[in-house]
Chains A and B, each alone.
Chain A
């Protein structure tokens, strides 16, 4: 049994209302359930729980999280050197759930439904008859001065204004509840709630079961049904997308998570276009019709053609007009942001009486009111717990099943001094509703969606392709640094071999891995140059990891959950590579993670066009890397003393050293090395193998230009390489590399132009 609360010295405030202890200092039943679920309330145990919660949140959310990485897409992507910085927005989950009794929750839940009905009625009236204005309930001067009132779309009567609604509620000092604010425009928090619950379900599986907490997962299915049901009437199998403004949006994590959970494409404005009254997705195979937009964009960012648009070139021109004409459904409808305006709150009581004939069940939080507190793990004090105010966000969906409130959700913990509407702290509590007697909801099958398997937005294919290239480039840089570093560590005298031929060769190998020309710095000793070169190569590897995670975060819904975890590890490795002085171990573990990523791409990704573009990126990059390593390290005519370690370095950099030794069991022979690396189609690290995969991909895409270019590369790749030496270079190697690389670079360029070039952001035309 749980020890009495006093024994862990929770500093409960003796005034007001606290979720743990009542006025007499006795433990409330709901708090007792929370402490039972957590098990030990010893501070050390709570610290462990918090650490596990952090780790699990990272694991569940990783890959959705936008880490604090500089976005360096390199000069070759779209011909620009984009360098945007995206802040990470981490949040922590308190290991102690917020437990609420079903009977009390039912009161909140009814109040939330009433409020959603009220706000829907308000929107209908303001855009339609304006009876509230005519009757003097709502002053027109106020309504028409609100930026969120879309005066131009008045007369707009969408079948449903609010599909998804959320409301923040908080308990005040006398124990009763208040509304803090409404979210009607693009309500956030549902994805976070599902993520938080997934974490606590793994952290406290027995506790969750024993408490009998109501499951919340079905709410996402209700949302999906409500969204598909909101499609225009003549669409038998409606297609929906989740519309985001991209990774820079403050709640992008949940856009990505929800898209995955709902099974919809996550798209950005440039992926969509309005034509002939219909909305279309720019997919690889052309335009695909879209019927429902679950918009995670605020409506001021939705359509640059509309008045009051704030997003510059973001959004989809004509989308609002299309919705107004009934050809596409927006959830929530354009203009629904009006209902959350703070200026309307003083009128809502009268509006409820006028439109619903009813009194508001929950009052608005008044500025001077003191919020109740709940114990929150902060790590401070004897109990490691401190009392904090918590604001609960209730999620409501209105669909074919009627209104339904998610039985639980997320509570946001206020830091001292926080305004209840806008907490600064990113600390959440999972909300458990206990003691429900209602029967488990019966699962209702949604109408079938069109099979999205073969459909890929161009932007997603673009990002997947660059994800593939960045993954491979990162691996090339890491492996080169690793191989050269180990050779150097094991035999520091190598720098003097063949008058520095080894050092020059591996220096060139590292430069090739960085995709840079060799920097001549003859005034410095070879070993100093080599150390600098190793360091530079590791930072390039770190940059490539950053690009990899960036690209992955914009196409997270194509990657498996396990892939997400690997991405989380790689994001952390990025920081370690930059910090660590001798990161050999770190390099090894990055290689393991990159191998896991490659393996998951092969084993856990459906073989559709999305996968093909990911793999195309990999194969092109690997082909170029093999050619680069051969040209840089084996192109110079060096003594056999130097050739031996150089050839070993090239083989190891291409992960072919073991294969070479098993096959040839001999000292290094240059022809045999070149054969294994360039022409042996059974070596998965060799050029011939990559060209075979490229051929499969371009054929499967039925892309004649690609087929032709791969054919050129393959024809050049079977050429013989003789041992002619001119001016110290094996010119046959140089010639060979040049003739294979040419068509490959052309292929890379053609992929960008042929497959991805189209989507661009709209431009406003100048005013008068």
Chain B
């Protein structure tokens, strides 16, 4: 088992004093079959007047906190340490059609577990253009793992990583038309494409350790929040893949949580009450393997 440490700092500066601030943070990781959370804390400055932790309906850890005294800035710093087992693809295959049929006909707990991840959402809508990605991938009696690998490869090769192109509000339609975007977009593309053929797909939020180019030192704070996708493969369970890095399974990925799309698992959502002001945001993420 390998150990990773994550430090994620989010800092808002308001320019003038805010009377009240409310924040919902999904910054604490959950255990998964491959991930063991050893340590996870969130430090907030100023010290919040209210604090409540809970699980959301997808089992993710959520923290609600609020500041009710005048404050000019808000800093949220999470410190995480998780152990990761190296993922391996399951041995064996199931035809993707069988998985889709099982998902559609699921009853009981399976219906409750996988059903939500069949749904189109505002960020993962049903679009005809998805057919260009899936039509010759999900064919005949191909296996689900092989097909998804093909899809992952196709998105990796067919889309340009371009941080200047999109932000959290760029619609999937534009991403598909322009064939460019960032990890959140590629995760949305994957989810929508899989759901369009009837396969349940989760949007996974987390972090990835970036590897410096050969000969260059690793810089601190340059890592970022990351997102990828997880597909339900019937009896083979949920299988993660990262279309941004063409990895199936992912290798250096720390999972925070999952949902139908980004909105379900946005790391920080906040609202302040105070005079109109300019606000600035500074985010830094540092992921490192501990030996």
Contacts and interface: CB of A to CB of B under 8 A. Distances in A.
Contact of A134 (B20, B68, B112, B225): B112
A318 B23 CA distance: 9
Nearest to B169: A767
Nearest to B113: A140
Contacts of A136: 105, 107, 111
A524 to B, nearest CB: 44
Interface stretch (B117-125, B133-141, B147-155): B117-125
A758 B120 CA distance: 42
B33 interface: no
B112 A140 contact: yes
Nearest to A765: B270
A762 B116 contact: no
A601 to B, nearest CB: 32
Contact of B12 (A133, A277, A325, A765): A765
Contacts of B68: 275-276
A713 B268 CA distance: 53
Of A304, A321, A325, the most chain B CB neighbours within 10 A belong to A321
A156 B214 CA distance: 52
Given A135-B107, A152-B56, A140 B271 contact: no
A135 B266 CA distance: 31
B273 A141 contact: no
A145 to B, nearest CB: 4
Contacts of A325: 52
A134 B108 contact: yes
B57 A151 contact: yes
B22 A318 contact: yes
Given A134-B108, A317-B273, A768-B168, A142 B20 contact: no
Nearest to A308: B263
Contacts of B119: 140-145
A275 B273 CA distance: 12
A144 B264 CA distance: 12
Q: Place the interface of chain B in its size category.
A: 35 or more
Interface in A602-617: none
A764 B121 contact: no
Interface in B245-291: 260, 263-264, 266-276, 279, 281, 283
A355 interface: no
Given A147-B122, A305-B22, A765 B115 contact: no
B66 interface: yes
A765 B167 CA distance: 15
Interface in A325-381: 325
A144 to B, nearest CB: 4
Nearest to B56: A152
Contacts of A277: 50
B97 interface: no
A768 B115 contact: no
Given A134-B111, A152-B264, A767-B266, A760 B57 contact: no
Contact of B120 (A145, A154, A764): A145
B118 A140 contact: yes
B274 A134 contact: no
A130 interface: yes
Given A140-B111, A141-B119, A762 B273 contact: yes
A765 B105 CA distance: 42
Contacts of A532: none
A637 to B, nearest CB: 48
Contacts of A318: 22, 64, 66
Contact of B24 (A133, A143, A275, A305): A305
B109 interface: yes
Contacts of A153: 57
Interface string A454-477: 000000000000000000000000
A321 B117 CA distance: 25
A contact face: mostly helix, strand, loop, or mixed: loop
A141 B23 CA distance: 30
Contact of A768 (B225, B273, B275): B225
Chain B facing A: main interface SS? mixed
Interface string B98-115: 000000010111011011
A338 B20 CA distance: 30
A766 interface: yes
B57 A317 contact: no
Contacts of A135: 107
Interface in B71-119: 74, 105, 107-109, 111-112, 114-119
Contacts of B264: 151-152, 307
A345 B197 CA distance: 25
B116 A151 contact: yes
A765 B112 contact: no
Nearest to A149: B119
A758 B19 CA distance: 9
A291 B32 CA distance: 40
A764 B24 CA distance: 12
A763 interface: yes
A768 B24 contact: no
A147 B283 CA distance: 30
A151 B112 contact: no
A273 B273 contact: yes
Interface in A733-768: 758, 760-768
B274 A760 contact: yes
A767 B168 CA distance: 7
B43 interface: no
Contact of A133 (B64, B74, B112): B112
A212 interface: no
B273 A766 contact: no
Contacts of B269: 305, 307, 765, 767
Interface string A139-181: 1111111010001111100000000000000000000000000
Given A154-B57, A273-B20, A130 B279 contact: no
A53 B111 CA distance: 57
A761 B273 CA distance: 7
A143 to B, nearest CB: 7
A763 B279 contact: yes
A154 B115 CA distance: 15
A420 to B, nearest CB: 28
Contacts of A758: 19
B53 interface: no
Nearest to B285: A768
B268 A768 contact: yes
Contacts of A304: 271
A115 B77 CA distance: 49
Given A760-B275, A764-B271, A151 B20 contact: no
B111 A276 contact: no
Contact of A145 (B121, B272, B283): B121
B162 interface: no
B116 to A, nearest CB: 4
Contacts of B178: none
Given A154-B57, A764-B271, A144 B260 contact: yes
B275 to A, nearest CB: 6
Contact of A762 (B111, B167, B271): B271
Contacts of A768: 10, 168, 225, 266-268, 281, 283
Given A134-B112, A144-B118, A768-B267, 9 more contacts: A134-B108, A140-B116, A141-B115, A143-B116, A144-B116, A151-B57, A275-B66, A763-B276, A765-B12
Closest 5 CB pairs of A and B: A140-B115, A144-B119, A765-B270, A141-B118, A154-B57
Interface of B: 10, 12, 19-20, 22-24, 49-50, 52, 56-57, 64, 66, 68, 74, 105, 107-109, 111-112, 114-122, 167-169, 195, 225, 260, 263-264, 266-276, 279, 281, 283
15 contacts: A133-B112, A140-B111, A140-B116, A141-B195, A142-B119, A143-B119, A144-B117, A307-B264, A317-B20, A763-B273, A765-B12, A766-B12, A766-B281, A768-B168, A768-B268
